[in-house]
Structure 1
Amino acid sequence: MPSIVGNLKINSIGSSGVVNIGDSMYISPSSSAKTFAGAGSFNTGDFGQTNNTLSATNTSDPDISDQNTSK
């Protein structure tokens, strides 16, 4: 479906970012990431309190590839 786009300002685009203006059938960014984090790692807020007596993160990854990406 055609569209009319007015003023547009793009300050920055990351290395795997996607910008679409107009019609598109399929958009797929080409990046993948894996994050390992222990207990309480992603807590946010003003008065956060996390009590972890024992925290261990299993970073063992026996498979060769988790998410294949190609450009």
Structure 2
Amino acid sequence: MPSIVGPIKINSIDGGVINFGDSFYLSPKSNSKVSSGSGSFNTGDFINTNSGLSATNTADPDVADQNVSANA
């Protein structure tokens, strides 16, 4: 028998799955924003990054970038 579950807000889950009853349509949502300078996400054993002068503008004039609303 189908179950009816109202709106649920889960603030944080690091790797996992949550199911409530007989789930027909699952629509997970997430958003994030990262500000980083040049050469900051390089990975490897022998990295040589010559970026000279670098500045990252972290000012955000608009309050919301990626709105996640409701549960649909």
Question: Which TM-score band applies after superposition, normalised by the shorter structure?
Answer: 0.5 to 0.7
Q: Percent identity?
A: 57
1:17 CA displacement:
5.3
CA distance in 1 between partners of 2:14 and 2:29 (Å): 6
- The match for 2:66 is 67
Unaligned runs of 5+ in 1: 1-13
Q: TM-score, normalised by structure 1?
A: 0.59
- The match for 2:41 is 42
Q: TM-score, normalised by structure 2?
A: 0.58
1:28 CA displacement:
2.6
Please tell me whether residue 19 in structure 1 is matched to residue 12 in structure 2.
Answer: no
Alignment CA distance shift 1:16-1:64 (3 Å): farther
1:59 CA displacement:
0.9
CA distance in 2 between partners of 1:42 and 1:62 (Å): 25
